[in-house]
């Protein structure tokens, strides 16, 4: 990586326009699907296909440029700042759902049960409701359900994700020490643990839906449970896909101890997803 | 205006630019990564949306000209108030400031371009996609969203086919804003010329650095809130439904956690533009530069801890009412610092009153007025009287129209000669200013009286005693709307050659003492600062 050349500024960009087209088509398709229109699903698939092609193309372009030494130190810092601020925006996104869980558990559900100044709520609207957690509300929305315990699959998933964080760091050490073998093995382990996590979560969801009566429609408990764990699971998938790309590039001989932004970005993202899971495990499953 | 100065050294460092001129043909505007091109796209788009949103405002004022139902049905009227707000906030004001940031931030800090040029392109096109989705809802079964721009459940869940489109439009606009903000923050933190320390940055750059942080923090919050609306409507969740243990008030808390910083997203860059223009025409350095920086940061911090003053009448615990009341009042302190600083900058200055300065002075006066009515409403028991009345409409329009919109236009007048190399027509500019400044008060001042007399907002018809002030307000509205066509004329005319007068590089007398952009040629070459400038104008110590 050269540090003397000028800051690299591309002179035209076609992938961003394609990314926009892909996103717009997907969302127009999804909105039509939700409205019950038959063109919804095909449009969504088309948009998603455009998006996949775009991701492949844009990633390839970036890695080619990076490997040919077009990015100087300054570009590397911009990319790192970009990734850090992106992760900060993700933190705020998850904060909404954690905040929702906190607000409903500690404020609105007790209010429904008549706590504090809200005695009239219970007396007039919901005389038979006693505030407890977990709850599906005074309307018993979604019918009877069992809450998800912490020490089954969720605990195994905690172990899986925590060890994937360790293997990811081990791979990073391999990269810095120019041990290509350790880098690749570490990444294979990380990606495998990541997908194993998603698989376990799929089993957990299946069990919830088929045996425990716990669905997205199970009142506020089901809503917060699936929204938090679902968005987290989606982020695990995205992180695992990004790490797979990094693995693929590592196998092709990309990255040096000085120039490996893609690896760092993927690793930061992975650790972020890991930390979110710890929050989930404590606030959604344990407490 | 003054003579050309000979000190600048720009001729030395753009000798390699000819290799990378703009693309040929219309495709240039689609694939461009150039901060000036993208800035232009943002500004042109914002101007177009200003007229779209303005047309909706004209429909609103036409319907309210007299009591009784005149032109539109109530559902469409409510769509107009909702869409007017969404288009103006997300389509006009925010993109205009992003456009100004794109154009000016790299030039002000001595950078060759934005830090992430490809992402810059994507944030613009996502904005267009988001607004297209939003505009498409006007033509859908059940009409465009009509529950107000805040999209409160359960009312908004009664929207027809438009609901998912409106929600996804918020998602796209959110991604666009986050990308734009990340880009601006990375540019400011990473791309400054070596001599440009943080405390030497122009105020406009400072305000955008802090605005960028606000945007990255709040847009995901709005995205989360509307995502829950989507799942409540289509996937059986109970986030905002008390029967399932949720709470519609929760939406209001989340929305305003986004919404309050969001209004500062629209006002902080406004402050930045004012702090840029006033010193130049007062021929003095900005008074209290560092206090301006700290005041901006303080306002941004307070933005996150005052949100529920939008919800005083919703039934919060009394401790909440008191906390949010006192916290809100605190905002008057850093804002007051700013107003006094602008005034002190003008004090004993050698002032001239070109159009940008006229807009800036009226901004200081009228924004202060809007701030005072905000202070009135921060008093929780008093707010119970004004809440959801035309008083609040008057309040926030005073902070958005003669503040944000005026300063966007002031920025246009101020920098257009630099961008185009042509001088705008000063006479028409001043005519535009006087018509706007007078009519904006005819338009919004009577709305204070209407609100205090009890006229609710977001209604297509009203009791007969509100007739006179509504008619006056509408007349002011029509004059204001028509006056803006002058601005459109000036923009087009200036691009085509303006007065024909050749502008100097510094354009305004001694402007080169105030900012790096005035050391560059007029019009600015396609690429600037391929090597960082070494001398930084530093007028604020």
The residue-averaged pLDDT of A247-273 equals 96
- In chain A the first and final C-alpha atoms are separated, in Å, by 49
Query: CA-CA distance, B84 to A232, in Å (whole number)?
Result: 36
Q: Answer whether B253's CB lies under 8 Å from A126's CB.
A: no
Considering the domain architecture, whether residues A281 and A166 belong to the same structural domain is answered as yes
Q: Answer whether B332's CB lies under 8 Å from B265's CB.
A: no
Secondary structure tally for chain A: helices H, strands E: 9, 0
B18-31 as b/e: b if 16+ CB within 10 A: eeeeebeeeeeebb
Nearest of A76, A72, A70, A67 to residue A254 by alpha carbon: A67
The residue-averaged pLDDT of A149-161 equals 94
Query: CA-CA distance, A219 to A201, in Å (whole number)?
Result: 21
- Domain CATH for A211: 1.20.120.80
Residues of chain B found within 8 Å of residue A16, distances taken between Cβ atoms? 118-119, 121-122, 125
Residue B426's pLDDT band, with cuts at 50, 70 and 90, is: very high
Q: Which domain holds residue A22?
A: 1-71
Q: What angle do CA A111, B157, B310 make, to 5 degrees?
A: 55
Catalytic residue among B284, B338, B512, B514: B338
Considering the domain architecture, whether residues A252 and A188 belong to the same structural domain is answered as yes
pLDDT of residue A117: 78
- Domain CATH for B294: 1.20.210.10
Q: Label each residue of B426-488 as H, E or C.
A: HHHHHHHHHHHHHHHHHHHHHHHHHHHCCCECCCCCCCHHHHHHHHHHHHHHHHHHHHHHHHH
B495 in a structural domain: yes
Q: Would you say the C-alpha torsion B397, B399, B402, B408 has a positive or negative sign? A: negative
B390 in a structural domain: yes
pLDDT of residue B20: 64
Q: Which of residues 355-414 of B touch A (CB under 8 A)?
A: none
Per-residue model confidence as pLDDT tens digits over A124-143: 888 889 999 999 999 999 99
Q: Answer whether A26's CB lies under 8 Å from A44's CB.
A: yes
Nearest-Cα distance to chain A for B215, in Å, is: 9
Catalytic residue among B82, B176, B439, B528: B176
Considering the domain architecture, whether residues A50 and A161 belong to the same structural domain is answered as no
Q: Which residue has the higher pLDDT, B18 or A250?
A: A250
User: Which of A71, A105, A128 is where one domain is finished?
Assistant: A71
Considering the domain architecture, whether residues A56 and A136 belong to the same structural domain is answered as no
Nearest-Cα distance to chain B for A147, in Å, is: 15
Structure tokens at B211: 């605005």
B531 in a structural domain: no
> Quick one: how far is CA B438 from the chain centroid?
21
| Nearest chain B alpha carbon to A102 | B250
Considering the domain architecture, whether residues A163 and A63 belong to the same structural domain is answered as no
pLDDT of residue B538: 64
Percent of chain A whose predicted confidence (pLDDT) is above 70: 98
Considering the domain architecture, whether residues A118 and A228 belong to the same structural domain is answered as yes
The residue-averaged pLDDT of B1-24 equals 48
B176 a catalytic residue: yes
The residue-averaged pLDDT of B482-497 equals 97
pLDDT of residue B7: 39
The pair phi, psi for residue A259, each rounded to 5°, is -125, 90
Considering the domain architecture, whether residues A153 and A26 belong to the same structural domain is answered as no
B403-419 as b/e: b if 16+ CB within 10 A: bbbbbbbbbbbbbbbbb
pLDDT of residue A126: 87
The residue-averaged pLDDT of A86-107 equals 97
The answer, yes or no, to whether the previous bond of B523 is cis (omega within 30 of 0) is yes
Considering the domain architecture, whether residues A219 and A100 belong to the same structural domain is answered as yes
Q: Which domain holds residue B323?
A: 10-519
Q: Would you say the C-alpha torsion A243, A246, A250, A256 has a positive or negative sign? A: negative
Q: Answer whether A105's CB lies under 8 Å from A133's CB.
A: yes
Considering the domain architecture, whether residues A51 and A171 belong to the same structural domain is answered as no
Query: CA-CA distance, A254 to A67, in Å (whole number)?
Result: 7
- DSSP class of residue A6? P
| Nearest chain A alpha carbon to B129 | A24
Q: Which of residues 113-132 of B touch A (CB under 8 A)?
A: 113, 115-119, 121-122, 125-126, 128-129, 132
Indicate if the pLDDT at residue B5 is higher than 50.
Answer: no
Indicate if the pLDDT at residue B382 is higher than 60.
Answer: yes
Query: CA-CA distance, A277 to A122, in Å (whole number)?
Result: 35
Structure tokens at A36: 């019950």
Nearest of B293, B286, B277, B146 to residue B207 by alpha carbon: B293
- Domain CATH for A39: 1.10.287.70
Residue A230's pLDDT band, with cuts at 50, 70 and 90, is: very high
Q: How many domains does chain B have?
A: 1
B527 in a structural domain: no
Q: Which residue has the higher pLDDT, A89 or B500?
A: A89
What is the greatest pairwise CA distance in chain B?
74
B483 in a structural domain: yes
Nearest-Cα distance to chain A for B402, in Å, is: 32
Indicate if the pLDDT at residue B38 is higher than 90.
Answer: yes
B275 a catalytic residue: yes
Identity of the residue in A20, A85, A224 whose CB atom sits nearest the CB atom of B125: A20
Residue B389 forms beta bridges with which residues? Answer: B456
Question: B165: helix, coil or strand?
Answer: helix
Percent of chain A whose predicted confidence (pLDDT) is above 90: 89
Query: CA-CA distance, A193 to A250, in Å (whole number)?
Result: 18
Residue B339's pLDDT band, with cuts at 50, 70 and 90, is: very high
- DSSP class of residue B495? H
User: Which of A52, A71, A90 is where one domain is finished?
Assistant: A71
Nearest of A264, A207, A202 to residue A236 by alpha carbon: A202
Catalytic residue among B63, B113, B383, B505: B113
Q: What is the mean pLDDT of chain A?
A: 94
pLDDT of residue B201: 95
Q: Answer whether B407's CB lies under 8 Å from B436's CB.
A: no
Q: Which of residues 181-200 of B touch A (CB under 8 A)?
A: 181-183, 185-187, 189-191
The answer, yes or no, to whether the previous bond of A134 is cis (omega within 30 of 0) is yes
Query: CA-CA distance, B33 to A65, in Å (whole number)?
Result: 16
Per-residue model confidence as pLDDT tens digits over B445-457: 999 999 999 999 9
pLDDT of residue B18: 43
DSSP string, B10-66: GGGS-TTGGGG-PPSSTHHHHH---HHHHHHHHHHHHHHHHHHHHHHHHHHHHHTTS
Catalytic residue among B171, B200, B310, B418: B310
B425 in a structural domain: yes
Indicate if the pLDDT at residue A58 is higher than 50.
Answer: yes
Query: CA-CA distance, B78 to B76, in Å (whole number)?
Result: 5
Considering the domain architecture, whether residues A27 and A109 belong to the same structural domain is answered as no
The residue-averaged pLDDT of B57-79 equals 96
pTM attached to this predicted model? 0.95
Q: Would you say the C-alpha torsion A263, A266, A268, A271 has a positive or negative sign? A: negative
Percent of chain B whose predicted confidence (pLDDT) is above 70: 96
Q: Answer whether A241's CB lies under 8 Å from A195's CB.
A: no
The answer, yes or no, to whether the previous bond of B154 is cis (omega within 30 of 0) is yes
Identity of the residue in A86, A111, A216 whose CB atom sits nearest the CB atom of B182: A86
B538 in a structural domain: no
Residue B539's pLDDT band, with cuts at 50, 70 and 90, is: low
The residue-averaged pLDDT of A34-45 equals 96
User: What H or E segment, with its residue span, contains residue A225?
Assistant: helix A219-251
pLDDT of residue B8: 40
The residue-averaged pLDDT of B108-116 equals 95
Query: CA-CA distance, B295 to B203, in Å (whole number)?
Result: 11
- DSSP class of residue B308? G
DSSP string, B207-274: HHHHHHHHHHHHHHHHHHHHHHHHHHHHS---TT-GGGT--HHHHHHHHHHHHHHHHHHHHHHHHHHH
Indicate if the pLDDT at residue B9 is higher than 60.
Answer: no
A131-147 as b/e: b if 16+ CB within 10 A: beebbbbbebbbeebeb
Indicate if the pLDDT at residue B469 is higher than 90.
Answer: yes
B125 a catalytic residue: no
User: Which of A48, A71, A94 is where one domain is finished?
Assistant: A71
Q: What angle do CA B163, B167, B168 make, to 5 degrees?
A: 120
B528 in a structural domain: no
Q: Answer whether A216's CB lies under 8 Å from B231's CB.
A: yes
Considering the domain architecture, whether residues A106 and A32 belong to the same structural domain is answered as no
Q: What is the mean pLDDT of chain B?
A: 93
Q: How many domains does chain A have?
A: 2
B310 a catalytic residue: yes
């Amino acid at each position: 990586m050269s540090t003397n050349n000028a800051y690299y500024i591309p002179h035209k960009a076609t992938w961003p326009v394609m990314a926009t087209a892909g996103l717009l088509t997907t969302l127009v398709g999804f909105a039509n699907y939700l409205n019950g229109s038959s063109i919804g699903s095909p449009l969504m698939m088309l948009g998603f296909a455009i998006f996949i092609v775009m991701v492949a193309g844009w990633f390839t372009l970036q890695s080619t440029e990076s490997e040919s030494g077009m990015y100087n130190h300054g570009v590397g810092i911009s990319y790192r700042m970009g990734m850090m601020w992106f992760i900060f925006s993700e933190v705020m996104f998850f904060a909404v759902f954690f905040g929702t869980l906190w607000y409903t558990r500690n404020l609105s559900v007790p209010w429904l049960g008549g706590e504090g100044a809200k005695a009239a709520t219970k007396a007039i609207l919901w005389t038979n409701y006693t505030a407890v957690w977990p709850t599906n509300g005074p309307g018993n929305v979604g019918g009877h359900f069992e809450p998800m315990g912490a020490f089954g699959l969720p605990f195994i998933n905690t172990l899986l994700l925590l060890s994937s964080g360790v293997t990811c760091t081990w791979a990073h050490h391999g990269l810095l020490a120019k041990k290509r073998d350790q880098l690749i093995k570490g990444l294979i382990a990380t990606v495998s643990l990541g997908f194993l996590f998603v698989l376990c979560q799929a089993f957990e969801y299946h069990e919830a839906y088929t045996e425990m009566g716990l669905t997205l429609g199970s009142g506020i408990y089901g809503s917060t449970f699936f929204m938090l764990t679902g968005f987290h699971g989606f982020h695990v998938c995205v992180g695992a896909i990004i790490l797979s790309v990094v693995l693929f590039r590592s196998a092709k001989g990309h990255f040096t101890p000085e120039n490996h932004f893609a690896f760092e970005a993927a690793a930061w993202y992975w650790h972020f997803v890991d930390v979110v899971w710890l929050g989930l495990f404590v606030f959604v499953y344990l407490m | 205006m003054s003579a050309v100065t000979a000190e600048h050294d720009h001729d030395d460092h753009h000798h390699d630019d000819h290799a990378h001129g703009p693309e040929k043909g219309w495709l240039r505007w689609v694939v461009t990564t150039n901060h000036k091109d993208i800035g232009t796209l943002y500004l042109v788009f914002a101007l177009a949306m200003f007229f779209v949103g303005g047309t909706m405002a004209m429909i609103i004022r036409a319907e309210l000209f007299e009591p009784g139902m005149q032109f539109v049905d109530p559902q469409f009227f409510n769509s107009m108030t909702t869409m007017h707000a969404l288009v103006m906030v997300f389509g006009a004001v925010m993109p205009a400031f992003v456009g100004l940031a794109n154009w000016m931030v790299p030039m002000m800090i001595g950078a060759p371009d934005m830090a992430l040029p490809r992402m810059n392109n994507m944030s613009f096109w996502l904005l267009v996609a988001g607004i297209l989705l939003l505009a498409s809802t006007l033509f859908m079964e059940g009409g465009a969203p009509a529950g107000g721009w805040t999209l409160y459940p359960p009312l908004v869940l009664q929207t027809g086919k438009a609901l998912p489109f409106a929600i996804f439009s918020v998602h796209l606009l959110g991604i666009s804003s986050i990308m734009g903000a990340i880009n601006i923050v990375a540019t400011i933190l990473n791309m400054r010329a070596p001599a440009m320390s943080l405390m030497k940055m122009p105020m406009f750059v400072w305000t955008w650095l802090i605005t960028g942080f606000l945007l990255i923090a709040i847009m995901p919050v709005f995205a989360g809130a509307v995502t829950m609306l989507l799942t409540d409507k289509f996937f059986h969740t109970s986030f905002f439904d008390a029967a399932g243990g949720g709470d519609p008030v929760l939406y209001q808390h989340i929305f305003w956690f986004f919404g309050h910083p969001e209004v500062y997203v629209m006002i902080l860059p406004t402050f930045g533009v004012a702090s840029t223009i006033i010193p130049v025409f007062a021929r003095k350095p900005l008074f209290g530069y560092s206090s301006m920086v700290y005041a901006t940061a303080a306002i941004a911090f307070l933005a996150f801890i005052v949100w529920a003053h939008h919800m005083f009448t919703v039934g919060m615990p009394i401790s909440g009412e008191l906390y949010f009341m006192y916290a809100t009042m605190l905002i008057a302190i850093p804002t007051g610092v700013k107003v006094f600083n602008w005034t002190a900058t003008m004090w004993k200055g050698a002032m001239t009153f070109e159009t940008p300065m006229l807009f800036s002075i009226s901004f200081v006066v009228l924004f202060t007025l809007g701030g005072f009515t905000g202070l009135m409403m921060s008093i929780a028991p008093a707010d119970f009287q004004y809440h959801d009345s035309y008083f609040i409409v008057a309040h926030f329009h005073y902070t958005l129209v003669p503040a944000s919109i005026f300063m966007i236009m002031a920025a246009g007048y101020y920098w257009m000669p630099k961008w185009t190399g042509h001088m705008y027509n000063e006479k028409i500019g001043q005519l535009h200013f006087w018509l706007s400044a007078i009519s904006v008060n005819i338009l919004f001042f009577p709305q204070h009286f209407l609100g205090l007399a009890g006229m609710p907002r977001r209604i297509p018809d009203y009791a007969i005693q509100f007739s006179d002030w509504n008619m006056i307000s509408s007349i002011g509205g029509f004059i204001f709307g028509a006056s803006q066509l002058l601005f459109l004329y000036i923009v087009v005319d200036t691009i085509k050659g303006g007065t024909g007068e050749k502008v100097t590089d510094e354009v305004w007398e001694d402007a080169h003492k105030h900012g790096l952009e005035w050391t560059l040629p007029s019009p600015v070459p396609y690429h600037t600062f391929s090597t960082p400038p070494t001398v930084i104008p530093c007028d604020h110590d």
